[in-house]
């Protein structure tokens, strides 16, 4: 009988953990919940992103950093913050908005930014001649050119939400 009780207890713990896990925010993909989380925390993270700018000495350094796995990015960011005695300032901002790390916020920001740029790039391309398209492609960042189609589709289907946020942000609201 005690085995059965332990088994039932273990199953209930596993099921409750699974049900809790499904409510954690998915900040790895573009979805309404992740973008709204980004919108509500964006102003607080401006100062955090500024603090991290010295991590990269060049555009090439930044691209190398972005090519690292997410876990390695998080380790490097945490080390930089700790080295500069900034963890105490940054960690409360991360916790207040429910992000797992500064890197998670930054990765979603980059993904959203690339998707928005790719969406506008796609719209612009439809209006150009073949020669103009070729010239525009040559000038466009590869991250924008390689933005996932599902991210561009997300931006297209949520254009009103994104535009209203950008307008409000620009006006200081």
Residue 53 lies in a domain: yes
Residue 113 has pLDDT above 70, yes or no: yes
Other beta carbons less than 10 A from residue 119's beta carbon: 20
Residue 97 lies in a domain: yes
Position 71 confidence tier, pLDDT thresholds 50, 70, 90: very high
Residue 19 lies in a domain: no
Residue 52 lies in a domain: yes
Residue 154 lies in a domain: yes
Each residue's pLDDT tens digit, 75-102: 999 999 999 999 998 999 999 998 999 9
The whole-number pLDDT of residue 140 equals 93
Global pTM reads 0.78
The whole-number pLDDT of residue 14 equals 45
Task: Name the packing angle between helices 87-96 and 102-125 (round to 10°).
Answer: 60
Position 26 confidence tier, pLDDT thresholds 50, 70, 90: low
Residue 46 lies in a domain: yes
To the nearest whole number, what is the mean pLDDT of the chain?
84
Percent of the chain beyond pLDDT 90? 55
Residue 60 has pLDDT above 80, yes or no: yes
d(CA 94, CA 103): 10
Which residue range forms the structural domain that includes residue 73? Answer: 28-170
Residue 12 lies in a domain: no
Residue 16 lies in a domain: no
Residue 12 has pLDDT above 70, yes or no: no
Q: How many domains does the chain have?
A: 1
d(CA 8, CA 136): 62
């Amino acid at each position: 009988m005690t085995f059965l009780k332990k088994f039932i207890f273990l199953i209930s713990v596993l099921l409750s953990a699974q049900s809790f896990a499904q409510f954690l925010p998915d900040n790895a993909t573009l979805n309404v919940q992740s973008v709204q989380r980004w919108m509500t925390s964006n102003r607080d993270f401006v100062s955090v992103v500024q603090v991290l700018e010295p991590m990269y000495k060049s555009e090439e350094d930044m691209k190398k950093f972005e090519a690292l796995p997410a876990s390695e990015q998080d380790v490097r960011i945490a080390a930089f913050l700790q080295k500069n005695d900034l963890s105490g300032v940054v960690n409360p901002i991360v916790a207040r908005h429910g992000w797992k790390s500064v890197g998670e916020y930054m990765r979603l920001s980059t993904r959203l930014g690339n998707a928005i740029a790719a969406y506008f790039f796609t719209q612009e391309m439809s209006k150009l001649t073949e020669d103009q398209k070729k010239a525009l492609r040559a000038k466009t960042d590869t991250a924008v050119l390689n933005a996932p189609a599902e991210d561009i589709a997300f931006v297209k289907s949520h254009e009103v939400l994104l535009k209203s946020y950008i307008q409000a942000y620009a006006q200081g609201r």
